A and B are shown apart, each in its own frame.
Chain A
């Protein structure tokens, strides 16, 4: 085979691979948030945000996420101890806040959750999260 042709085939293969990698990393929800999610959320809410029977609400209800953009940081940081209706089902199990998370980590996990399951795909900055945390009731 012609050497030049081999070089062309090989380099175009590498290029396609690179393009694919870049495309994938951009279209996927932020990975830092995924780590926070798996360490602090997934054991109850599930890897796919599916929740658990009628005990733990799923995180895949985009209506709930869209309506609670301002509450998300407070729920993660300080927990929740009241009834929530998600996908038409009532959930009453209290959730503990994860106090050790920094605003940056909360922003990462919020971006991960909203990137995967909301319709608005809202993006949070750490600064925004800090303000939201300051307004928690």
Chain B
């Protein structure tokens, strides 16, 4: 092969390489979530608006037995998931990926984590604490919470992810492996597969976009 041809080949390869960039750069994040039609009366005229529901009323208990409410997350950026500590399949991977995001924003007080257990029999507060200690995380930043069956499944519905008891699933519970990115107004801004490394990288990048948006407000 002649010299110019080699250069051409190398050029093509590097071009192709840049096309398959793993993390997508975004300027703005979408708003997700169920909406409600709001009819208001403004100066005698009916105004119909489609409003996104905010997930802003919950009260849960974290691994330190502290009560955590939506107010703790107001103005923050947080990532929500559903898991259980005895889960033999996808949760260890999810925890591992979540810890990667945690590490990336460890010094950033604006970024928090909220993991809901769906095993209401085994995941007592001490059990959640034990699990948190094994990963070596701070309860000020990463809340592993117990909310009881009804509240938790109701919250899962609001976040629009699946979580349920299922005797046929390994460990006895079936749940989504999603990471849900939330903004400071308790709105859903992104869904990511918590079992995938690519999605984890994307989430780490998207937090920056959301941070910029919130700091400009």
Contact = CB atoms under 8 A, between A and B. Distances in A.
Interface in A77-111: 79, 81, 93-96
Nearest to B131: A55
Interface residues of A, number: 13
A56 B88 contact: no
Given A43-B195, A53-B99, A93 B92 contact: yes
B166 to A, nearest CB: 14
B149 interface: no
A56 B96 contact: yes
Contacts of A54: 133-136
Contacts of B99: 52-53
Interface in B72-124: 85-89, 92-93, 95-96, 99
A95 B25 CA distance: 36
Contacts of A95: 88
A44 interface: yes
Most chain-B CB neighbours within 10 Å: which of A54, A79, A81, A93? A93
A55 B87 CA distance: 12
B148 interface: no
B184 interface: no
B81 to A, nearest CB: 15
B96 A94 contact: no
Given A79-B88, A96-B89, A55 B95 contact: yes
A49 to B, nearest CB: 14
B96 A52 contact: yes
B170 A44 contact: no
Interface residues of B, number: 18
Contact of B86 (A43, A44, A52, A94): A94
Contact of A94 (B88, B93, B133, B195): B88
A135 to B, nearest CB: 22
A81 B89 CA distance: 12
Contact of A53 (B86, B135, B170, B195): B135
A63 B136 CA distance: 26
Contacts of B93: 43-44
B134 A81 contact: no
A78 B85 CA distance: 19
B33 interface: no
A52 B89 CA distance: 15
A39 to B, nearest CB: 13
Interface of A: 43-44, 52-56, 79, 81, 93-96
7 contacts: A44-B96, A53-B135, A54-B136, A79-B88, A93-B88, A94-B87, A95-B88
**Lowest 5 A-B CB distances belong to which pairs?**
A96-B88, A54-B134, A94-B88, A43-B93, A96-B89
